[in-house]
Structure 1
């Protein structure tokens, strides 16, 4: 991602100019549907960016001016679809190295699965994930939570409403007692 053209990139808190589309995406003004994403961490211009619905992680990074030289962007799923209201946190190489490996992935992540340490989107070490507001990418930052399990959590939340307690996560198919116990310290509602 380094060296991405700055065309269409936005400064902190900036909203795109409908007259200047990004290098590979339509403008938010044309589609009528957009997402707001907080891009933070090792990027040139951290802040909130507005992108067309269906935009990918690589487009959000470009909209934030690209990653810094110390960014671990190779550990991010650049093709992940962004959700409105999520935070995309690009860790530094040092931060990514400090994240333990995920072990066995939950769900059917497939052979490729998320990169070591899970997707490098969302909270840094010590940050708590809000179970009621986290998007797919942020849920995938949790240990042993791959794309399938993260989607099950989102589907459960849509069907049953917000979680009253983090312990209610045990009702989601694929989350057993051991996984729940390891996730509880990382969650809030």
Structure 2
């Protein structure tokens, strides 16, 4: 009796239970999780590649073909020459308390200070005194450094612009060139050069009598030259 009741109860419960799905059917119904991850990763990579391609293929603005800035079209003028054309060189005689007294050739427009520097500079302990070092040089002039310059003869006309003495004026032994000395009576080119060499070696003539110390000038020739020269 109990067995029959139990059988009927089991049969009733069997009707109420949902049908069981076999394992193979469950595997076919849902994909594996690893396959889903691979599909998602492929989709992300495809999206990145598409975005990069669109970024590279974007239109870019072209440079304008308009006129150049005015600054580049402006005419550039050549700078003016800082050194204008210089004139002929000047020849001066530097004497006195310098290391290398003598006749010096300098470019046109040079100053007294440059002449002293070309003569080796002032000797140790010597001074230039009231000498204007900034004055421009004049061709044929004499620059006494630390000594008293030759005094002009009273009533004598000033020298001509070319440095030669006026007619009838004694010739300055410290400023005359070899060509001017050659014009003196009894003085040829060789003796004129000896006079120039002597004043270069001794820093100029301090008296007319020193002319007798030049080789080739004896008492008789000195007597002829004395009224024609000065210092």
TM-score class normalised by the smaller sequence:
0.3 to 0.5
Which one has the largest radius of gyration?
2
Question: Which is helix-richer, 1 or 2?
Answer: 2
Query: Larger relative contact order (C-alpha < 8 A, sep ≥ 6)?
Result: 1
